[in-house]
Amino acid sequence: MIAANDALIIVDPQVDFCPGGRLAVADGDAVMAPIAALAERFAHVVVTQDWHPAGHLSFASSHPGAQPFDVIAMSYGEQVLWPDHCIQNTPGAEFHPAILPAAARADLIVRKGSNPAVDSYSAFFDNDHATRTGLAGALRDRGVTRCVFVGLAYDFCVAWSALDARAEGFEAVVLREFTRAIAMPLAHGTSVDAAEARFAAAGVSDTL
């Protein structure tokens, strides 16, 4: 059940994360129109937007000899290296056309990942977990107590956002049918398995 103190957080519904984009999530475009329809039921809507400068240090192209999806050590911890994506003021950074009605009625659009030296998966923090986006305070000011997460990608930016919402004292729900995953292989299982284990430990729900 959707309540007045709920906020729908639409994570990174951008062209580069959809089929044909630079960091395409399989079937990512299929959730865009359903998310836009879902947003009409919420009093509070937030949209996040990856907004990287060219040459961002999370790009594999910034590290000679590195390949996309390699993992390296950065000053703030392990960092997956990505294909160049969502570069500021490029078509790939734009919102998917099907999500534009939801973006037009959003309370907030949170741009993240603009620090060239630090990646930013979460809607709440950069990956250094010290630099805030300001979202938590903005939600509290609006009386929001529960965050409902949808968008891309389930096992990275959606997952980190939901976990940070819990750490900030909000209830958190991830609606799996309105997300799609990268499912990157790990030593044990995939990034989906790792995210879901963390959801269970943190009390992230999968139902309204």
Q: Among all residues, which ones are annotated catalytic?
A: 12, 112, 157
For residues 3, 206, 201, 10, the Cα torsion angle rounded to the nearest 10 degrees is -70
- For residues 117-127, one letter each, b for 16 or more C-beta atoms within 10 angstroms of the residue's C-beta and e for the rest, the string is ebbbbbbbbbb
> How many Å apart are CA 7 and CA 145, to the nearest integer?
8
Cβ-based neighbours of 175, under 8 Å, separated by 6 or more: 38, 148, 149, 150, 206, 208
